[in-house]
Amino acid sequence: MSNFKSLPGFREFYPEDFAERRFLFQVWRQVARRFGFQEYDGPVLESLELFKAKSGDEIESQLFCFEDKGGREISLRPELTPTLGRMVAARANALKRPVKWFSVGDNFRYERMQKGRLRCFTQLNADILGEAGPSAEIELLALLVQIFQGFGLGEDDFFIRLSDRNIWVLYLEAQGFAAQSAKILEIVDKWERMPEEAAKENLESIVGDSAVQVWESLRAFLEVRTIAELSKAFQKVPVNSKLHEALEARIRDWTELLDGLDAMGIGGYIEMDLSIVRGLAYYTGFVFEVFDRAKKNRALAGGGRYNSLIQKMGGPEMPAVGFGLGDVVLADILRGRGLMPRLVDTLDAYLVVGGEEERVAALFDANVLRQSGFAVDYSLRSQAFGKQFKAASASGARFAFIYGSDELEKGVVKVRNLSDRSEEEVPRAQLPLVLRDLLG
C-alpha cells in the first residue's frame, strides 16, 4: 500500500462514490432552477481579510490559511457568503431584483473531524437579495423543503426550526438589556449544552442582580411555539410605546411568514423555536436550521437574514437572506434511509467481437455510433464470446451488438436485447437509427 494518503478530512471519490455526489448535485441544481435561481461561483482562494472582516479574527484558527509567494495572506474559503456579498456589492445597482442565486462548491475548514464534519465539504448555497420582507424567507424556505423532498425525505424525516434575532433583541430591550443582547444570546445559543449552574453564573456576570429574573424570562421565551404565546410572553415584560410599535410590526412579519409557509403547503415542516440564534455576528432577522426528526445528526442546513453584509462589502444597502446546505450530513441520512440510489454509468450498446477480422468492422461502427451520441464500449482484448457477454451484462448496456463472421458476410450485425434476450439482424448502416428507436 502506498505511503501517500489523502489529507485528513479530504475525501476521494471512486466512481461509485462520485455517482452519489452527482445524484446530490443533480437534485440541488434541478430544484434550484425550478425556483428561478441562477447558478454562480467564486474563487476557492480568497484574501484572509475577507473572512476576518465578516467573522472576526478568531476565525483564523479554523481556516486553511497561509502566505502565498507574493507575501499575501490568503485562505481557502470556509464559506461562500462573503464572496457572494462582494460579487453582489460590486454590481448591486445593475442587478435585477430580487437577486436569486445559488452555488454548489467546495468549502474548507481546518477543524477536527467527526460524524458529519470534514475539512473539505460541498455546500449548496442559495440566497435572495434585494427583498426585505418575509416573502423572501417564504420563497427560500420553500426551496429548502423541496430540495429535501426531492430526495424522498418528508415530514417524518426532517423539520425546520425557525427563530428570529429581532424578536430576541426586542425582548431583551424591553427588560433593559439591549446593550447586553449579544452576550445574552450566546447563553441562549448554548442553553441545551451548558450546565445550568455555569450558565446562571455567566448570566450574573452580564446582568448582575437581575440574573434570576432574566433567567426565568429566557426560559419562558424559549418555550414559545406560537405567535399567541409570543405575544403573551411580551405581556410579562415592560413594553414602552416605541417598542410596542416595533413589536407589533415584527409580529405582523411573523404572521405573514407563517401564513405564507402554510400557503406553500410546508407549514408542517416548520417549528417556531427561539433557541436557534446562530452565528451571532451577522444575522439580523429570521434564522433557521434544518434537523432530521430523530436529531441523531448535525444540522442538515442553516441560514437566515443578513441585511448589512452587502454594505459591509462596499455596496449599497441591500437586504439578503440565504442558507447553506452541506453534502456530508445529507448523504449520511440518505444512506441511512436507503434513499441513496446506486447510479452507474450505463452503456447503450456493448459490441461483441468475434475475432480480429471482425474487429475492424466493430471499431468502425463503434466510432460512428459514438459520434452519433451513443455510449458504446467493447472489449479491448480478443476474448471468448461468453466472456464478452458477461462484460456486456456487467456494463449495464441495454443491447449487445454481435460482430460474427456469419453476420458480417451479410452486412448485418445481430442486435441482442440483453434484458429479454431477443435478437434481430440489422444492416450495419442502419445501426444508429435502429438504436435510437430501440432506446425510445
Return residues touching RNA (CB under 7 A). Answer: 1, 5, 8-9, 51, 55, 59, 62-63, 78-79, 81, 109, 111-115, 117, 189-190, 193-194, 278-279, 281, 298, 302, 324, 354-355, 381, 383-387, 389-390, 392-394, 400, 402, 404-407, 414, 416, 418-419, 421, 423
Q: What is the smallest separation between the CB atom of 112 and RNA, expressed in angstroms?
A: 3
Q: Which three cell numbers stand for residue 433?
A: 437509427
Nearer of residues 175 and 388 to RNA, judged by Cβ: 388
> How many CB atoms neighbour CB 193 within 10 A?
7
State the nearest-atom distance from the C-beta of 213 to RNA, in Å.
25
User: Least distance in Å: CB of 350 to RNA?
Assistant: 9
Task: Look at the block and give the residue holding cell 423543503.
Answer: 145
Please identify, using beta-carbon distances, which residue of 233 and 301 lies nearer to RNA.
301
Which residues fall within 8 angstroms of residue 397, CB to CB, at 6 or more apart?
A: 346, 347, 348, 349, 350, 377, 418
Nearest residue (CB) to RNA, 33 versus 410: 410
The least distance separating RNA from the CB of residue 287, rounded to whole angstroms, comes to 9
Q: What is the phi-psi region of residue 120: left when phi exceeds 0, alpha when psi lies from -120 to 50, beta otherwise?
A: beta
CB of 200 to RNA, least distance (A): 16
Closest CB to RNA among 249 and 281? Answer: 281
Q: Between residues 173 and 332, which has the closer beta carbon with respect to RNA?
A: 332
Q: How far is the CB of 299 from RNA (least distance, A)?
A: 7
With residue 259 as reference, give the H or E element that holds it: helix 241-263
Q: With respect to RNA, which residue has the nearer C-beta, 371 or 422?
A: 422
Angle at 124 between CA 122 and CA 130, to 5 degrees: 145
Among residues 47 and 383, whose Cβ is nearest to RNA? 383
**CA 127 to CA 174: how far, in whole Å?**
32
Question: Distance (Å, rounded) from C-alpha 77 to C-alpha 80?
Answer: 7
Question: C-beta of 340: minimal distance to RNA in Å?
Answer: 16
Cα 294 versus chain centre, distance: 20
**Run of H or E including 213:** helix 211-222
CB of 410 to RNA, least distance (A): 10
Helix (H), strand (E), coil (C) string for 87-137: HHHHHHHHCCCCEEEEEEEEEECCCCCECCECCEEEEEEEEEECCCCHHHH
Per the listing, cell 430544484 goes with: 31
Bridge partners (DSSP) listed for residue 360: none
Q: Which of 258, 347 has the CB closer to RNA?
A: 347
